[in-house]
Amino acid sequence: MNAPSYSIRQLFADLELEPPSFVPAAQPPSEYPWYMRIFAGIGAWFAALLFIGFLLITRIISNEVGALIVGLILCAVAVGLHQVRQSSTFVHQLALASSITGQILAVIGWAEIVDGSLIGSALGVIVLEIVLFAVQRDFIQRLISTLAIITAIHVIVGDLSRWSENFNYIYLLLSCLIIMFSFLLWLDPKIHADQLWASAAPISYGILLFMGASSLLTNAVWDGLALRSNFFMLPALVGIICLGISIWMIINEFTYRLNPIELGCIGIGLLFSAFIGFNTPAIIIALLILVLSYWRGYWVMFGVGCLALISALSLYYYNLNISLLYKSIILFTSGLTLLAIRGVVLKLNQKEAL
C-alpha cells in the first residue's frame, strides 16, 4: 500500500495554523485513469477536426457569412457542452476544440466581411471574446479569450500608431500590463474574499503570458530598439517601481522589522536590478513575477517566472557587446556572489533559530 502524499494543507494542520487562501481543497480522485483521459481528449479533438472536414467537403462553408455563422454556432455549442454537469473528459475536450474552431471561423468570416480591416477585425474579436468570457466557466477557454483580447488591443493600437515605423506603443502597452498584473496580485486576498478569482485567474495568467513573451520579443535586439524609441526604458521603470512596492507590502504584511543593513541590501538589490534591467526590462518583469507569485503562493505562475528569468538573463548575456572571456568572468563572479549570499542567509537563519 502506497503511503499518502503529504500535502500543504496537512502541513498547516499539523502546525495548527490556518491554511492560506491559495491552498486548494482536496479533490476527489478521478474515476478514469490518466491514459484514458488522454485518449478521450485526443478523440474529442479528432472528432472536431473530422466535423470541420465534413463542413469543408460538403461546401456548407462557402463564403464569409457562412464561416461567421458556423463559427458562432460552434461557439454556442461549446458553451452548451461545458454547461453539462459531470461532463467527461471527452465532452470537455470536445467543447474546447469546438470553441477554438468556432472562434477561428468566426474571426476569418468577420475579417472577410470588413474587407480585411485590421481595426474592424480586432474590434470584432474583442466583442466576441468578451461575450465568450462572460458565458464560459472553463479556465482554459477564458485564458484563450484573455489572450485574444490583449492581442486585438495590440493590433488596434499598432495600426493607429503605424507600428511598422514606430515601436513606442509596445512599451506603453507593456507598462500597462505590468501595472494590471501587479494590481491583480496585490488585491489577491480581496479577490478571493469576493469569490472573483474564477474570473481574475485567467486574466492574471493571460497578462502574465503576454507580458513575458512580449518583453522578451521586444528586447531581442535592444541596442537597435533603444535608438528608435524614447519609451524603451518605460517598462523597466514601471517594473522596478512595482517591484519596490511589492517588497514594501510584503514587509508590512508580515510586520518585519528590518535593520539598516537589511534595508540597504534591499536597496542595493533594487538598484542592481534597475541597472541591468534598463537594457533588458524582461529581467525586472521576471523578478516581479517571481516575487508576487511566491508571495501569493501560485506555484505554476512561479514556474513561469523562473522560465522568464532564465530567458531574460540569457538574452541579456547574449546581447552583451563584450568578448567571451569577459562574459565567462561575469558568470564566474555572479556564481561566487550568489554562493556568498546563500551562506550569509543560512547563517542568519541559524542565529534566528537559536
Higher-confidence residue of 10 and 94: namely: 94
Kindly indicate the confidence band of residue 293, based on its pLDDT and cuts at 50, 70 and 90: very high
Can you tell me the distance from the alpha carbon of 91 to that of 89, in angstroms, rounded to the nearest whole number?
A: 6
In a domain, 195, yes or no: yes
pLDDT at 223: 45
Instruction: Judge whether 9 lies within some domain.
Output: no
Q: Which of 111-120, 127-136, 173-182, 300-309 has the least mean pLDDT?
A: 111-120
Domain boundary residue, one of 137, 160, 183: 160
Mark whether 314 and 347 lie in a shared domain: no
**By residue range, what is the domain housing residue 263?**
166-321
On whether both 221 and 272 belong to a single domain, the answer is yes
- 328 and 314 share a domain? no
Examine the pLDDT at 15 and tell me if it is beyond 70. no
Do 171 and 124 lie in a common domain? no
Answer yes or no: do 275 and 143 share one domain: no
Question: pLDDT value at position 40?
Answer: 62
Residues 175 and 285 reside in one and the same domain: yes
Do residues 208 and 338 both lie within one domain?
no
pTM score of the predicted model: 0.77
Q: Is residue 1 part of a domain?
A: no
In a domain, residue 5? The reply is no
3-class SS letters over the chain: CCCCCCCHHHHHHHCCCCCCCCCCCCCCCCCCCHHHHHHHHHHHHHHHHHHHHHHHHCCCCCCHHHHHHHHHHHHHHHHHHHCCCCCCHHHHHHHHHHHHHHHHHHHHHHHHHCCCCHHHHHHHHHHHHHHHHHHCCCHHHHHHHHHHHHHHHHHHHHHHCCCCCCCHHHHHHHHHHHHHHHHHHHCHHHHHHCCCHHHHHHHHHHHHHHHHHHHHHHCCCHHHHHHHCCCCCHHHHHHHHHHHHHHHHHHHHCCCCCCHHHHHHHHHHHHHHHHHHCCCHHHHHHHHHHHHHHHHCCHHHHHHHHHHHHHHHHHHHHHCCCCHHHHHHHHHHHHHHHHHHHHHHHHHHHHHHC
Same domain, 185 and 312: yes
Q: How many domains does the chain have?
A: 3
Asked if residue 342 is part of any domain, the answer here is yes
Instruction: Examine the domain organization and report whether 69 and 191 are in the same domain.
Output: no
Among 105, 135, 160, give the residue marking a domain's end.
160
Domain boundary among 138, 160, 182: 160
Q: How does residue 146 score in pLDDT terms, banded at 50, 70 and 90? A: very high
Binned at pLDDT 50, 70 and 90, residue 325 comes out as confident
Residue 332: inside a domain, yes or no?
yes
pLDDT the model gives residue 131: 93
The verdict on 155 and 177 lying in the same domain is: no
Same domain, 48 and 156: yes
Q: Are residues 170 and 150 in the same domain?
A: no
Task: Classify residue 347: in a domain, yes or no.
Answer: yes
The per-residue pLDDT for 282 is 87
Q: State the chain's mean pLDDT as an integer.
A: 78
